[in-house]
Amino acid sequence: MNASRRQIRRREVDHDAAARLPQDWHPVLRRVYAARRVSAAAEVSYGLDGLPAPDGLGGMATAADTLARTLTAGGRILVVGDFDADGATSCAVVLKALRAMGATAVDYLVPNRFDFGYGLSPELVAVARERAPDLILTVDNGVSSVNGVAAAVEAGIPVVVTDHHLPGETLPAAAAIVNPNLPGQRFPGRHLAGVGVAFYVMLALRAWLRAEGWFGDGRPEPALAELLDLVALGTVADVVPLDHANRTLVAQGLRRIRAGRGSPGVVALLSAAGRDPARTVAADLGFAVAPRLNAAGRLEDMGLGIECLLSDDPAAAERLAAQLDTLNRERRRIERDMRESALAGLEAEALAGDGDVGPALCLLRDDWHQGVVGIVASRVKEQFHRPVIAFAPSEAGLIKGSARSVPGLHIRDLLEELDTETGGRLIHRFGGHAMAAGLTLGRSDFDAFRERFRALVAAKVDAETLTDTLYTDGALAGDEITLALAHTLRAAGPWGAGFPEPSFDGSFCVCDRRIVGGSHLRLTLAPAEAPAVRLPAIAFNALERGWDEVGERVRVVYRLDVNQYRGQESLQLMVSHIEPLGP
């Protein structure tokens, strides 16, 4: 069974850009920034005054006007969210903002993924009507909800859509649609997550109410910047590209958390994950907080996560965060079992064939959990560097799949092509992005779908696409691998999708190795050019990758990390790849 082929490439550095950066900055930091096309200090300055103005987003004026008229009339506003972290934070931002601006009747509704699926469906509108809303506001969904919006409008309920997903050929007949990815949009922050769009709509609504004299002595104007920790969490969790606008939103939210001004729910989730709020970086939000929040939507109902984020009582937030942590432990157990069964099935398939898993993987097990297939698809994709769709049983006769792709293959476009060429006979519904998508099939159509999916992928990919390329920022000299530089790089973020955290590669001798936590490898490394230096390192899930069997001379891809233990700080290398070197 073939795991992914990996190659290491060093990022190209724009040396002219590096020369234009302040010369008192660490030379490694200048090199790192220049490799990300940063050529001026202003590009990594994250003041709120550097954000694009809300009125640059199309549909914003109509959305703000529609919301304001309902709010000032005392109308009932129902926020319809999504069951992931972006949707949960979007929902919390909007509810907190509307209430702070004087809305007296605001509630939320999030579809249970197992009963309703994604978005504002006609079935969900039927549930919404029981609450008699005067207006429905969607967050992180709605742009593809043509039938659901139509059902709401027919029932006399106007809908304002706020979303960031790619639209289909037909837009819903909403009162207003705010989405930076609509055709013709020129808004510079087009990579906003759903929570970013929702936050911008709240800024525009506040400006509208301010202009109308709504705020006064008895109704103070709210400081919406207080919600930026929620915006940061949703933005990082949804893995949207961190362009300047998104980096600004994340940086501002992180500053609030570190300064002790984070919302009780976010702080409680950080604490449940064993992270210090005062030292929080973007990776903590993405790898520690988001999974705990997402666990509610994956296994039960995202209402638990939203209530945690809405809580103003630290003790109540801690109780809710503890429940989310328990759910996340269960999610991890389910994921581990599903991943092991997926790999066992792939191994049997490869042994029965020529040992190659092929250009794409399409997996289905009748005992898999519908809420966890996306994570399994991600894990298998990471191991094999192939497009992966993992399916689990859904309602009678149907299966629901979650797809993950590799760079160079737009998975949603491929599903659209497959749907078109089969005349809509195989796929019941689908949607998504370039790298991730969701879809529903009939159980009896799985084999036909898998055959067509594999054939389409094979026609579009080459060996380069199916090679896992690790990009690094080059090598560090022995005297550059320091705790001080680790601090400098840590503070230079936020790092994330589209603005990757600095990583380096180099040759090392393995002085010591031991297994910890069952599958991780703790190492002591000596740089080849400075053999007297000893560097502690950790490689997570190393045994799964066979790294415990590499020799004494290795090439390593790593990040510099600040390790804290019993109040003391030390340097640690976080290893993402190991390969043997010749004798």
Q: How many whole angstroms separate alpha carbon 189 and alpha carbon 46?
A: 14
* 150-159 long-range Cβ contacts below 8 angstroms, 24+ apart: 150/122, 151/122, 151/125, 151/126, 152/120, 152/125, 152/128, 155/125, 155/129, 157/125, 157/128, 157/129, 157/133, 158/66, 159/120, 159/135
Tell me the mean pLDDT in the region 520-543. Answer: 93
Q: Are the CB atoms for 215 and 209 separated by under 8 Å?
A: yes
Q: Write the pLDDT tens digit of every residue in 229-279.
A: 999 999 999 999 999 999 999 999 999 999 999 999 999 999 999 999 999
Q: Which of 341, 236, 215, 327 is nearest to 285 (CA)?
A: 236
Give the mean pLDDT of the chain: 93
Give the angle 272-572-492 at the CA atoms, nearest 5°.
Answer: 75
CATH number of 49-326: 3.90.1640.30
pLDDT of residue 176: 98
- Pick the range with the lowest mean pLDDT from 36-40, 515-519, 573-577: 515-519
Residue 224: CB partners within 8 Å, gap ≥ 6? Answer: 97, 100, 199, 202, 203, 206
Task: Provide the whole-model pTM.
Answer: 0.92
- Picking from 212-221, 344-353, 415-424, which range would have the lowest pLDDT averaged per residue? 344-353
**What are the extents of the domains in the chain?**
49-326, 357-465, 470-580
Per-residue pLDDT of 277-316, as tens digits, reads 999 999 999 999 999 999 998 888 899 999 999 999 999 9
pLDDT tens sequence across 60-118: 999 999 999 999 999 999 999 998 999 999 999 999 999 999 999 999 999 877 777 77
Type of residue numbered 303: G
Which residues are bridge partners to 506 per DSSP?
Answer: 556
Confidence of residue 3 (pLDDT cuts 50, 70, 90): low
Instruction: Please state which CATH class domain 470-580 belongs to.
Output: mainly beta
- Decide the pairing of beta strands 398-404 and 388-393: antiparallel
pLDDT digits (tens, 9 = 90+) for 144-163: 999 999 999 999 999 999 99
Burial per residue of 41-61, b for 16 or more beta-carbon CB atoms within 10 angstroms, e otherwise? eebbebeeeebbebeebbbbe
- Which CATH number does 357-465 carry? 3.10.310.30
Nearest CA among 350, 394, 412, 401 for reference residue 373: 401
> Rounded CA gap, 388 and 380, in Å?
7
| Token digits of residue 428 | 């019941």
Q: What is the DSSP string of 316-348?
A: HHHHHHHHHHHHHHHHHHHHHHHHHHHHHHHHH
pLDDT of residue 348: 67
Residue 339's pLDDT is what? 86
